[in-house]
Amino acid sequence: MTLSAGIAPGRRGGTGVIEQQVDAAWWRAVSWAREVCADPTAVYLDTETTGLGGDAEVVDIALVSADGRVLLDTLVRPQGPIPAAASRIHGIVAEDVRWAPGWDEVHAELCALLHGRAVVVYNADYDRRIVSQCCQRHRLADVAARWHCAMRQYAVFRGEGAGRRGHRWHRLEHAAVSFGAAPGGHRALGDALSCRAVVLGMAAAEA
C-alpha cells in the first residue's frame, strides 16, 4: 500500500480474518473522509477552553469551510477565570479576552453557521460537550449540527488497535504532521485547519 507519511500499517492485502477486518475498517475510515470532502457544506471546528471539567468554557473558537475559508475566528470572554494550567496549553490569558465577545454574543452567529451542517472536529465529544455547557450556562439553545469525530476515524485509519479498549488515540499535531501539514499550535484556527488537513489526507489515501 502506497500512502503519504500517514500510512496505516498492515494495509498489504493480508488474507487472515484479522487482516481482512482491519482492511475493511481502514476502507470505512477512508470512505468517511471522502464523503466529508465531497460535502461542500461541511465545516471544521475547534475550540480552546478554560479546562476539562463540567464548568469549562470556550475562550477561542474557529470554524473553517470545506474549501479552507475562515468562517469564524474569535476569542471568547468566559464568565469564569482562565486557570494557569489552561493558559500554558493555548497561551490565552485573561487580558487577551478582556474585550472579546461573550458566549451570548457569539452564539447566534455560531448557530447560523453550523445549522444542519456536518461539523468535523478532532475529538468531537469534548468540543461538543464544551459548546453545550456554554449554551446551558447562558441559557441559550444548544447548537443544532451533525457532529463527526476525525480523531476516531484517524485511529481506525491508522489501524493501531488496543485490544478491548479500542483504538489508540493520536494527538492532532501528530496526525497533521503525518500528512505533511503544520501543527495547529493549540489555537482554535490553527487546529481547525489541521483537522481539515487530516481529513484531506485520509481521503487521498489509496490502497
The 10s digit of each residue's pLDDT in 104-126 is 999 999 999 999 899 999 999 99
Cα angle 137, 129, 154 (rounded to 5 degrees) comes to 160
C-alpha 162/C-alpha 142 separation (Å) is 34
C-alpha 131/C-alpha 205 separation (Å) is 32
Longest dimension (CA), the chain: 60
C-alpha 176/C-alpha 54 separation (Å) is 29
Q: Based on the number of CB atoms within 10 Å of its own CB, is 101 exposed (0-12), middle (13-18) or buried (19 or more)?
A: middle
Q: How confident is the model at residue 166 (pLDDT cuts 50, 70, 90)?
A: low
pLDDT confidence of residue 17: 47
Average pLDDT, the chain: 89
Weakest mean pLDDT among 6-10, 94-98, 179-183, 184-188 = 6-10
pLDDT for 25 beyond 90: no
DSSP secondary structure of 71-93:
EEEEE-B-SS---HHHHHHH---
Residue range 133-154: average pLDDT? 96
pLDDT for 16 beyond 90: no
pLDDT for 190 beyond 80: yes
Q: Based on the number of CB atoms within 10 Å of its own CB, is 29 exposed (0-12), middle (13-18) or buried (19 or more)?
A: buried
What domain count does the chain have? 1
CA 7 and chain centroid, separation: 20
Give me the CATH number covering residue 92.
3.30.420.10
C-alpha 21/C-alpha 16 separation (Å) is 9
**Edge-to-edge order in the sheet of strand 58-65:** 70-75, 58-65, 43-49, 118-121, 146-149
Weakest mean pLDDT among 72-81, 99-108, 158-167 = 158-167
pLDDT confidence of residue 179: 94
Alpha helices in the chain (DSSP H): 17-38, 84-90, 103-114, 124-137, 150-158, 172-178, 188-203
SS3 190: helix
Domain that holds residue 178: 1-207
